[in-house]
Structure 1
């Protein structure tokens, strides 16, 4: 994987019991999601709720390059997001997709 390649991340959060909506609501109310969407290189940053599993949240992130995503992780608002995850999230699973030239 090269830093200059596009990157898509699929993050599956398992919320603590009864915390799914509160987690995403807090991210939106504090402006974290909008701040991330305005970061250089961010193509997509969207949360989805599972209709079948009441504790699951899917986050889809797309970045122009892996380098952009790496810089994103160092931003000050990410510290607050980590605090919210500690409060509301029981488990996090991450999947990465990169596009390679054929």
Structure 2
């Protein structure tokens, strides 16, 4: 578990409907950070169906879902919940904090 917060970007660099990937400074875990209507959410950047990065897929800000480009599995960016086959397991969700216009996340497992 990492106690160290990893800088992702400034809030101006991650507008509503956008996502960015950061790598946890301690664990090296790839983390996708989503701006959903001004709220920030972070998920492990790895589909639970097959080892493939979610950030390569489509983030649908209207529904709050990210779709894995490999086989079409969809996940709720707020909770990491798997929404359809072929994925059945949720994606790991990580904390996000915003301080002084900067977005941070960390692998808290």
TM class, shorter-chain normalised?
under 0.3
TM-score (norm 1): 0.28
The structure where helix makes up a greater share of residues is 1
Structure with greater strand share of residues: 2
Larger Rg: 1
| TM-score, normalization by structure 2 | 0.27
